[in-house]
């Protein structure tokens, strides 16, 4: 999000006004809760940011990779506890980083570098896509947006639909840091969704192991690790979950 020094000077002055505005825009309901965005707000704001992201990084269209990601996303969807009124979409961005990003309100983007890492393992790819759907369904980014609205005028303007600075909001969204707990929760949701859709949930473990190996090879953390920390613990948790849940995937 826009958290640089650029915003800092504006924060003190804007803070009080922003809280009031945000409460007004949200219909004055739930201002004390951590998330006062409605699903409609999320979809609207997500769409604005998606437009900006797609201007900067046009998604791949008409390629086998794009078709594969869309097809796996479609197969997952009925088993992902889809939220009413949320138009989920699954697209590929032609960037070499190993990363995946989701926006509030439905859009999921997979970076080209992540597809290269996953190779032909559809189960692993399904687990990554389902993990991103997990973030959307648990409203992780929406909660962060809600909290940041207190100090971030740009987000409030975005909610009103007349954003001037969508570019930096989009850049912030691509590098949004989730908490460790948010990541664990999305792993659990992702594994469960993928297994229910008939994919092998061990694909998640295989993906994490490939990620670890790639980190060692390159001698530094890839992009994905910055937003998705603690790979070892995540592997342990996912393995335990698969052991105890007795999924009937692929049957």
Q: Residue numbers of the site for Zn ion (CB under 5 A)?
A: 183, 186
Q: How far is the CB of 128 from Zn ion (least distance, A)?
A: 9
Alpha-carbon distance 113 to 224, whole Å?
10
Residue 140 or 196 with smaller CB distance to Zn ion: 140
* Secondary structure (DSSP) of 47-109: HHHHHHHHHHSPBP-SSHHHHHHHHHHHHHGGGS-PPTT---EEEEE---S--EEE-TTSEEE
Residue 183 or 200 with smaller CB distance to Zn ion: 183
Residue 42 or 159 with smaller CB distance to Zn ion: 42
Residue 30's φ and ψ, nearest 5 degrees, are 70, 30
- The answer to whether residues 201 and 124 touch, using CB atoms and an 8 Å cutoff, is no
Q: How far is the CB of 132 from Zn ion (least distance, A)?
A: 7
Strand ranges of the sheet holding 107-111, from the earlier edge strand across to the other edge: 89-93, 107-111, 100-102
Residues ≥6 apart with Cβ < 8 Å to 197: 75, 76, 78, 79, 80, 126, 130
Alpha-carbon distances, residue 90 vs 35, 42, 85 (angstroms): 25, 17, 16
Residue 42 or 183 with smaller CB distance to Zn ion: 183
Alpha-carbon distance 37 to 141, whole Å?
11
Q: How far is the CB of 178 from Zn ion (least distance, A)?
A: 5
Residue 112 or 228 with smaller CB distance to Zn ion: 228
**Closest residue by Cα to residue 190 from 147, 144, 140, 143:** 140
Residue 53 or 163 with smaller CB distance to Zn ion: 53
Phi-psi region of 187 (alpha: psi -120 to 50; beta: other; left: phi over 0): alpha
Q: How far is the CB of 177 from Zn ion (least distance, A)?
A: 10
Q: How far is the CB of 241 from Zn ion (least distance, A)?
A: 16
Q: How far is the CB of 117 from Zn ion (least distance, A)?
A: 15
Residue 181 or 217 with smaller CB distance to Zn ion: 181
Q: How far is the CB of 42 from Zn ion (least distance, A)?
A: 17
């Amino acid at each position: 999000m826009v958290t640089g020094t650029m915003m800092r000077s504006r924060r003190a002055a804007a803070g009080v006004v922003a809280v009031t505005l945000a409460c007004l825009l949200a219909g004055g309901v739930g201002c004390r809760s951590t998330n006062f965005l409605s699903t409609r707000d999320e979809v609207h704001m997500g769409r604005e940011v998606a437009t900006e992201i797609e201007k900067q990084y046009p998604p791949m269209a008409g390629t086998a990779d794009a078709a594969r990601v869309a097809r796996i996303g479609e197969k997952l969807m009925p088993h992902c506890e889809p939220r009413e009124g949320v138009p989920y979409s699954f697209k590929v961005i032609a960037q070499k980083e190993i990363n995946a990003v989701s926006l509030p309100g439905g859009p999921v983007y997979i970076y080209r570098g992540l597809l290269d890492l996953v190779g032909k393992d559809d189960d692993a790819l399904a687990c990554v896509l389902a993990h991103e759907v997990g973030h959307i369904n648990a409203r992780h980014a929406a909660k962060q947006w809600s909290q940041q609205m207190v100090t971030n005028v740009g987000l409030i303007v975005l909610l009103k639909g007349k954003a001037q600075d969508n570019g930096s909001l989009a850049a912030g969204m691509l590098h949004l840091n989730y908490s460790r707990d948010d990541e664990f929760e999305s792993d659990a949701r992702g594994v469960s969704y993928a297994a229910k859709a008939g994919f092998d949930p061990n694909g998640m473990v295989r993906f994490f192991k490939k990620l670890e190996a790639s980190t060692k090879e390159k001698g530094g953390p890839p992009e994905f690790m910055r937003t998705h920390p603690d790979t070892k613990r995540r592997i342990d948790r996912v393995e335990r979950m698969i052991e105890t849940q007795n999924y009937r995937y692929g049957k």
